[in-house]
Amino acid sequence: MIEIARDHSTNVKRWRDAMMALRWCAAGMAEAGEQFRRVNGFAYLPALREALERHVRGAVETPPSYDLGDEVAA
C-alpha cells in the first residue's frame, strides 16, 4: 500500500502544505485499496470474532476483592 501511495504522488513537484500531502496520501491509499485481495476464509471471520469475544469474556472475570479492611494489623 505504501509503495502504491508513493507512486501515486510521485509527479507532485510542489507540496503546498500538510493538507495537500494528506489528500495525496489518502488518494494513494484509495487507489491501493482497489488492488487488495480478499483474505482466505473471510466468511468465517464473524464466527472467529464471536469465539474470541466468548474466550475473552471467560478469561477476564472480576478479580476477587483484595480489600482486607479491618483484618490488617497496624
State the Cα–Cα distance between residues 17 and 49, nearest whole angstrom. 41
State the Cα–Cα distance between residues 27 and 29, nearest whole angstrom. 5
- The pLDDT, as a whole number, for residue 55 is 87
- The pLDDT, as a whole number, for residue 47 is 92
State the Cα–Cα distance between residues 7 and 28, nearest whole angstrom. 8
DSSP 11-42: T------HHHHHHHHHHHHHHHHTTPPPPTTG
**How many CA atoms lie within 13 Å of 33's alpha carbon, on the beta-carbon side?**
6
pLDDT in tens, 21-54: 899 999 989 988 888 887 788 889 899 999 999 8
Mean pLDDT of 55-72: 63
